[in-house]
Structure 1
């Protein structure tokens, strides 16, 4: 083998080395403390305090995006069960909500006894799986319909694939694949009800609040920089652009929350798709302007800034980019447009 081929092989091998996930015990402990002190009991969406719910999500995001990933999944699970089973007690512990269904990872109901079902298959994108007690997940029933199932993760039929999560940004969320091999679960609601209920899109708006909270914190570092006597006009210009973007996003969050509270039984798909698109654009703008204004220093010397800046680009990929924009465009093309009227 030639020296150039050896050189290329060495580099290829080194570049493809796996990420070694490091369990974040502080993250799990903090999540448990928030549960214990009652901070995860948020107002239900669509009942007059949607904006207050989103403010809580934004506040946790401003602290840490890995934490809000667990916090949002837990609080979403509580809201879903309260909406679908208002009279049923909710089991204690830390919950996750896992509804992703990529073609390569599906869970099926293979047997049942009443509302007790047995699950077989693999679930991807299971945020916080090694740190959680229970989860709500979507599975396919005998007629291939989506069915929401509550599962105790501590049973022998549940296992995690640690090597399935190679993230650097959002790495500590441990969003691994989870395998179910005859695991016992309980049906929550009717087939298809998880997606069809009003709370589905109302909850989707909460994700935009998470993105927004982290962007505000990054913008705050730029604002503090511009309060120092040594700042230059370029930094001030970047701050002006960031302020304009964040104010537009905050107005959209408030308007959408108000719409949801005024129309709690209507589908919020169009308002929330618009909101997520607007906030995603704002987040990308903030990341660009803050990075250009502040340079490498906060990325390398400020742990909080560095975590947010690394995690946020990964977190906003919960948006499906042009696919989501196309879905919004198809909805708008099919009906009269009222969102453009002043």
Structure 2
């Protein structure tokens, strides 16, 4: 079972759509994706179909998240490759809108990563070199760095502050991609490992601290949740592919999965509207992102459990597609910080007035 993943119902567009409108756009996107799910093909799809991936916060956030969810329902590998590229484009657009002049960064043929993770024993520093900046050190968890052309990278520009930089990847700019010890059974085509920068020329993107403080940081986190939702839909579709007439237990699992996905979808739909209405800024945007990611990640975990209970071991052992979807989603969900994010949300609640619905 395939098809576009919806966050909102648009019956007027579903009637005699004729291949046009947003339904036709997303269905065409999935047709263009084809059976292959390698990262290069997914990134090429984004360059060929920019109409399907509008910038967040510009009035079409629902369409963007539906496109990400639709890709994820077909291939989490494709969605995982596309998401940071789109995030980088959104960050660069947000920087320009904020008045931060970018020099020699835009390249229509570029493929982007976003590397902001920190790790023990590693430190990437930015050093002023006349009027330019150069990066020195190692950055962990750099997904697909060996096959991308550019990246947005956070680096320490002082003892306690970090700044975002745009950097061209490759040996000619002093960038060395190390082989990743990637033993994961999920997202096997998206290895993530350390990258060393040895005097790599870099362009600042915004002032120190801007990367985390901008509204788009929360929006991007919710875009990832849309991918988790799409991945859960892809796993849930296995329940509809059973050739056996469902008994009462199977119907129970199917009903629970439907309700769980509906709640996640409603959460994302509401959040997309808030982003476009300017209601996801500052502390409220941060809290909204934590709520959305919590609801959607728990929904996806519940879907994984319910589908596993309903179908038993056979699909995991004998169906390559289903087993891959499960492994991909389990790994991708660990981008959410689980109980630590719950604690962060609790701190925000205590630091503000209690929510109006309490």
1:162 has 2:173 as partner = no
Alignment CA distance shift 1:29-1:46 (3 Å): closer
1:38 Cα offset (Å): 2.7
Q: Does 1:90 align with 2:106?
A: yes
1:75 matched to which residue of 2? Answer: 86
Q: Kindly tell me: are residues 339 and 310 of structure 1, through their superposed partners in 2, closer, same or farther at Cα, counting changes over 3 Å?
A: farther
Q: 1:45 and 1:322 mapped to 2: Cα distance?
A: 27
Partner-residue secondary structure (3-state), 1:172? coil
Contact 2:43 2:81 (C-alpha < 8 Å) held by counterparts: no
Deviations 1:102-145 (A, max 9, x none): 2332210133232x311111111111112211100100114542
Report whether the alignment pairs 1:252 with 2:263.
no
Instruction: Show the counterpart of 2:32.
Output: none
Aligned counterparts of 2:37 and 2:325: Cα–Cα separation in 1:
16
Aligned equivalents of 2:151 and 2:52: distance in 1? 17
Matched with 1:52 is: 63
Which of the residues 136, 141, 145 maps onto 1:125?
141
Question: Are the equivalent residues in 1 in contact too, given 2:111–2:150 (CA < 8 A)?
Answer: yes
Q: Which runs of 5+ in 2 are unaligned?
A: 1-35
Change (3 A) 1:317 1:90: same
Cα offset, 1:243, TM superposition? 0.8
Matches of 2:37 and 2:302 in 1, distance apart? 31
- Number of matched pairs: 314
* Cα distance, 1:265–1:307 mapped onto 2, change above 3 Å: closer
Mapping of 1:132-171 within 5 angstroms? 132-156=148-172, 157-171=174-188
What is the CA distance between 1:41 and its match in structure 2?
6.4
Q: Spell out the pairing of 1:177-326 with structure 2 (5 A cutoff).
A: 177-225=194-242, 228-263=243-278, 266-267=281-282, 268-326=285-343
Q: Which runs of 4+ in 1 moved over 3 A?
A: 86-89
SS at match of 2:70: helix
* Residues 159 and 178, structure 1, Cα contact 8 Å, conserved in 2: yes
> For 2:135, what is the secondary structure of its paired residue?
strand
Closer, same or farther: CA 69–36 of 1 in aligned 2, 3 Å: same
Q: Deviations along 1:48-70, whole A, 9 cap, x unmatched?
A: 21111111111111122222111
Runs of at least 5 residues in structure 1 that lack an aligned partner in the other structure: 1-24
Is contact 2:180-2:192 (8 Å) kept? no
Aligned partners of 1:41, 1:231: CA distance in 2, in Å?
Answer: 37
Work out the CA distance in 2 between the residues paired with 1:322 and 1:103: 21
CA contact (8 A) 2:37 2:77 kept: no
In 1: Cα distance, 2:37 partner to 2:306 partner: 31
Give the structure-1-normalised TM-score: 0.86
Give deviations 1:171-229, integer Å, cap 9, x for gaps.
2211111111111111111111111111111111101101000001111111232xx45
CA distance in 2, matches of 1:131, 1:297: 36
